[in-house]
Structure 1
Amino acid sequence: MKIDSVHATPGYSGFFFDDQRAIKRGAEQDGFTYEGDPVTDGFDEIRQAGETLIVDVELADGTVARGDCAAVQYSGAGGRDPLFQAEEYEPVVEGPVAEALVGRDATEFLENAELLEDLEVDVRGSEVSSSQPEADASGAGDRLHTAIRYGVSQALLAAAAEAQNTTRTDVVVDALGTDPATEPVPVFGQSGDDRYTNAEKMFVKGVPVLPHALINSVEKIGENGETLLEYVEWLVDRSRELGPEGYEPRFHIDVYGMVGEIFGAPYDRDEVVDYFAALEAAAAPYPIQIEGPMDVGNRDDQVDAMVELREGLAEAGVGVDIVADEWCNTFEDVQAFVDAGAADLVQVKTPDLGGIHRSGQAVRYCEGTDTRAYLGGTCNETETSARACAHVALATDAAQVLAKPGMGFDEGYMIVENEMRRTIARREREQTTETDEITADD
């Protein structure tokens, strides 16, 4: 089945773009927005509406497969690609991207996605080459924005599944040579600032991993960490009151480097180890993992700091897992953290890796190591990209997968959990049919 055309339509994503540099410099909140001027290139406001570019890949038989280009909430920060503005990139998708893909076999997902990864365009949006994996040093061409590679590759994945009358999970399994999950991958719920009410919702629904909690200030963690300790104790008590019978949650708290902030610069390891021991005791009998315990300003130093902390926790017998987030954006970053043994989990931030197959490859890179893969992403995605990621999670049997998009929890959880359940049910029906046919032939 050939690709007949590629179309792009600007739309909205599930949350907002935030100028992280301006916020870290002290921008004050004004209700839901922020006062002051943005400092990161491309931003008109410190907080502005998230955007997506809706991609339709039409096949020769008229079937349309969709993907959504999306970028993370804190775009343009930490070495990421610049702020994604949909209208700016619409002609790129309908121009050089379409030219490169039209006429190709839709069933060749991996080959088509890799072509997209390597495609370079000049400033006028015309194709330069598709032979080099990095931007042309002369400036003649640049790789496509990560959001473009992310969204178009989702559409290519859906197109391959449609052309073969199979699931997107099976397309990824065939492309990457994986053993897929036979049960839904544990979904990780993100509460946002509404960390009490949303956690209660998660308990009622028996969400396996929760609540994120958005601990991104001294006020939220406490000057000595006491506020977070109280919150973890509340999580244990409330989970027992509201959770279903036999419920055993795993607590996952993102502290945005604040543990390092309150215990020195960048941090005092012994104090942090003692604090983590207190967190472990507060969370008992349930496991707890802490995302982004410190932020030391660059990848190499972050890896070293995480290795040092992980070794300290092991020496002290403290069973708190640490999760790599800050400075773990690209496939190469994931490799660096995994190779160094710097984390118990690495977050694979799907929009930052470009093509969706790269996220699958990043999860696979953790196989055979003592680092687990958390297929994450951002609240600033869409229902289309979230469903695509659910298939990657199933195909690679990731340790956990983020409920997204948005910050309201319920909608994202429904989208991701239900996509996995319907896919598993379909695969089981098809396998049963195949077995019955073989038996009948015998």
Structure 2
Amino acid sequence: MKVAMIGAGYVGLVSGACFSEFGHEVICVDVDQRKIDMLERGEIPIFEPGLDTLVASNVQAGRLSFTTDLKSAVAESDAVFIAVGTPSRRGEGDADLSYVYQAAKDIAAATDGTKVIVTKSTVPVGTGAQVKRILAEANPSAAFHVVSNPEFLREGAAIEDFMRPNRIVCGVESKYARDMMRELYRPLFLNETPIVFTSLESSEMIKYAANCFLATKITFINEIADLCEKVGADVQSVARGIGLDRRIGNLFLHPGPGFGGSCFPKDIRALAATAEAFDAPLHIVETVNSINENRKKAMAEKIIAAMGGDVTGRTIAILGVTFKPNTDDMRESPSLDIIPALQKAGATIRACDPEGMREAAELLPGIEWLDDPYDAMDGADAVAILTEWNHYRALDKERMKSLLNRPLMIDLRNIYGVEEMEAAGFTYHSVGRMPVNAGA
């Protein structure tokens, strides 16, 4: 089957590469000539483990290509996916759908005959109906079958998520579209992957409801972590104890400095805006967003408190600045709130990150960026872990002690054990666990 993927960003590139791995012929379209030139040279504009190899092998096999020519790509394809960005509107919570609607207009102009149009972008309820209207008005002589097919890709594990998903969700309105989607995802039938066929509106709602529920789990365990610190409980034990209940599950019960990234914050705001527009407010969702924003700021205060309440003239080594490991994505990362707050309080920041420093340097001025975590710690008054990269999970404690002015670690991801750090002679602060050697 021939597929056109409109948008060669994170979702479009990963989805296009994976569909080509299934055996389909995929052409990824983007208006950014520089990005297309990079891809044609074999350069990947984003960091996602395994994506470079997947793209290279399918380009070599002739199943994956790149272009800025939307018209020819659409004309040659059986199915056209819209995978463009839907950022939050500046100063508002609702999603900016201008790129989706423009893509629909461009697709309509390039279509002759029958075409399945699949929305892969994350869009609010009602977008599919609007896309259908735009297509019909722009080209009434063509036959369009509109589908909603939301993505559920975790950055850092996107290829695995696409190839071995928990489910595929397809909002369809015709047997033609249903059969087309079955054929596209036919390789997953071997793994007996459930395919949920539903309406356009239900499919769009599933995406938002899923992300908001996961964000709620994170926020819940973060608040439980704060209480654990007050009462002397261990949040990791609590999370394990409740996570073994199959009604709850153990995923997304890891406390930290708050969630970030391209999905959760944006989707929460968009769903809350949709609910408000339909006079059905989602108070839980609104509260999750508020709590998460406040938590990022509170983590800066936690670091300052661990350093005696005053960081004026002090140097802090920051390990990890991306919102999660195995990505270079800085969008809404907690570090974007934590580091400026520390700087405003008078601290000097020395930081490192395996993949995010290039983008972070443009967003976080006044920082000394270092490639090696030990270089960042050399002469620092404390070290704070903001992102749980594997690179930081087995640091040499004796070497850290020799480099730091005092053995003080603030671990906002709980990647070290309390007793372990105490035995190594560190003053160690984590999330939801009682600090050790607090008075040292």
TM-score in terms of structure 1 length: 0.26
**Structure with larger Rg:** 2
Q: Which has the higher contact order (CA 8 A, sep 6+)?
A: 1
